[in-house]
Amino acid sequence: MDRRENLPDAVVGFVERVFAVIIGVSLTAPFNALKQGELKFWSFEAATLVGTYAVIIHSWVGYHDSVRHQPLTRGPGKWRFVLDLLILLDYFVLVYFFDRFDVVATAFAALFGLYFVWSFIKMLEYRAWTEWPRFVTRFPSLLLAVVVAVGLPARWGVLCPEQWDWVCLLVLIACVFWYRVGPDWLHQPRAEVIPQTTLRDEIRLVQESLDRLRKRAENADEAPESPGPAPSGLPPSSTT
């Protein structure tokens, strides 16, 4: 039997506390920019900040769901713990440098790389090789994020810088959406389709069973009642 010893709950608790500290510290830059009037609600930087926080919150929920079903173990799970800390550092970079989209794009590419290594170590840890198709399905997210991070400084002269930044931001958000939802959508278990002929046969058998029960009930109602035994203590009747 394959017995795995999980890491203490304090390890996950430590990651949660570091996450709270990093998010709290990273909020100082957006709040200062908002207070000084440098951050407008309708600006590209505000959209980047909102998209980044949506990604972080959604990823954090997915992390808790993953470690609840497949906890960190004392084997490869220790490396997942190290990657958790690196991912948290990446979250800090995403939020703290929200006004520098080149840094945000590079941090997104690094984040997908960390996600991939984390998922691969989890497969090794639990020998869950059936998850390999889902793992491969997420690869386009990493590829597109790297393309955005590499091509962002050049912008390839196709669009103006502002338009290109908006396109890249939407692509990165779409990559996150595909990373989280794509494997479930493509590899969800298919419902078993009952052949129509089998369904007809089942209905016919049910109808036949109901007909037999109905006939038995009718026969029981039509059958004459048999006389009961004579009361005890009375002499049997005699014929003369």
User: pLDDT confidence of 114, banded at 50, 70, 90?
Assistant: very high
Q: What is the 3-state secondary structure (H, E, C) of the chain?
A: CCCCCECCHHHHHHHHHHHHHHHHHHCHHHHHHHHCCCCCCCCHHHHHHHHHHHHHHHHHHHHHHHHHHCCCECCCHHHHHHHHHHHHHHHHHHHHCCCCHHHHHHHHHHHHHHHHHHHHHHHHHHCCHHHHHHHHHCHHHHHHHHHHHHHCCCHHHCCCHHHHHHHHHHHHHHHHHHHHHHHHHHCCCCCCCCCHHHHHHHHHHHHHHHHHHHHHHHHHHHCCCCCCCCCCCCCCCCCC
Dihedral in degrees, nearest 10, Cα atoms 21, 54, 89, 44 = -110
Identity of the amino acid at 55: V
Domain spans of the chain, in order of start:
9-186
Nearest of 98, 119, 120 to residue 107 by alpha carbon: 98
149-169: pLDDT as tens digits: 887 665 545 555 677 788 888
pTM for the predicted model, two decimal places: 0.66
- Asked whether residue 229 carries a pLDDT value surpassing 60, the answer given is no
Give the pair of three-digit tokens for residue 68. Answer: 């609840």
* Higher pLDDT, residue 222 or 55: 55
**Mean of pLDDT values over 160-182:** 81
Q: In terms of Cα–Cα distance, which of 164, 166, 173 is closest to 144?
A: 173
pLDDT of residue 240: 45
Percentage of the chain modeled with pLDDT above 90: 3
Separation in Å, CA 22 to CA 14, 54, 166? 12, 16, 26
In terms of average pLDDT, the best of 54-68, 165-179, 217-231 is: 165-179
231 pLDDT band, cuts 50/70/90, is low
1 pLDDT exceeds 50?
no
Any idea what the Cα angle at residue 123 is, between residues 120 and 124, rounded to 5°?
90
Which residues are paired to 73 by β-bridges? 6
pLDDT over 80 (residue 101) = yes
AA identity, residue 40: K
What's the whole-number mean pLDDT along residues 78-98? 88
